[in-house]
Amino acid sequence: MSGILYLVPTPIGNLKDMTFRAVEVLKSVDLILAEDTRTSAKLCQHYDIGTSMKSHHMHNEHSRVQGVVDQLISGLSVAVISDAGTPAISDPGFLLVREAVRQGIQVDCLPGATAFVPALVSSGLSCDRFLFEGFLPVKKGRQTRLKELSQETRTMVFYESPHKLLKTLQDFCTVFGSERPISVSRELSKLHQETLRGSAAQMLEHFQNQAPRGEFVIVLSGMDKKSIKAKITQSGPND
């Protein structure tokens, strides 16, 4: 009988956000696959988790998938964790899950911490329907993707690093308009957690004057449907 592949969310900042079940699973499995074993070692030490651990990150996941699947088929249970948040959400994990599903192996993802949900819910923007975009392409395909999103009416959620934040906010002002409502959250669940709300131009000005620090979640309002209708009317039915 095959083992079980667990995807276990870990805290995005505050260690108290680890669930009882997550600790229980990490203690019970035969192997933990960690994005960075040094980072995860601190978590395991805090919760007295002594399970064997190996690295599983974007640079080695392709080569290690089959070996892990073979271990699962042999009956071992494996847990995947990332440095913070839920595995496979802008982090390694998808390739292993896909192959495990192909092989008929049971996959169990525990509920738990992820950065975009608290950022979205606290943004004050519509969250009944939304588009999770994650990280935008750095170079190739970036402008094409932004153009595709320019007509999106759902709220959009992006991840961004501090050294690329200004570039992204500048692109948002250009593509979506400087007055588009936006929320920018950083250091969620940590001591210096902060959420700023305003227009895209206001957010750009703020971070031009105050150097970005920490990891960011950007929540951007979708295009107002009235604006789309107005554009269609202006262009005319035969344009």
String of DSSP letters for 46-58: HTT----EEE--T
Q: Mind listing the pLDDT tens digit of every residue in the chain (239 residues)?
A: 899 999 999 999 999 999 999 999 999 999 999 999 999 999 999 999 999 999 999 899 899 999 999 999 999 999 999 999 999 998 999 999 999 999 999 999 999 999 999 999 999 999 999 999 999 998 889 999 999 999 999 999 999 999 999 999 999 999 999 999 999 999 999 999 999 999 999 999 999 999 999 999 999 999 987 665 555 455 555 55
Tell me whether residue 214 is in a domain: yes
237 within some domain = no
What is the pLDDT at residue 232? Answer: 47
CATH of the domain at 58: 3.40.1010.10
Structural domain ending residue among the three candidates 55, 75, 109: 109
- Residue where one domain finishes, among candidates 86, 109, 132: 109
| Closest C-alpha to 57, from 30, 95, 109, 10 | 95
Question: Which amino acid, 65?
Answer: V
Q: Are strands 130-134 and 155-160 parallel, antiparallel or unpaired?
A: parallel
How many domains does the structure of the chain reveal?
A: 2
pTM for this entry: 0.88
Final residue in a domain of this structure, among 48, 76, 109? 109
- CA 4 to CA 128: how far, in whole Å? 33
Does residue 239 sit within a domain?
no
Task: Give the pLDDT of residue 1.
Answer: 83
In a domain, 236, yes or no: no
Residue 175 and residue 74 share a domain: no
| Cα–Cα distance measured from residue 81 to residue 36, given in angstroms and rounded to the nearest whole number | 9
Same domain, 97 and 178: no
Q: State the CB neighbour count (10 A cutoff) for residue 160.
A: 21
Alpha-carbon gap, residue 33 to 61, rounded angstroms: 10
Domain that holds residue 22: 4-109
Name the amino acid, one letter, at 158.
F
pLDDT at residue 202, rounded to an integer: 98
Q: Is residue 234 in some structural domain?
A: no
On whether both 9 and 54 belong to a single domain, the answer is yes
Q: How much is the pLDDT for 239?
A: 55
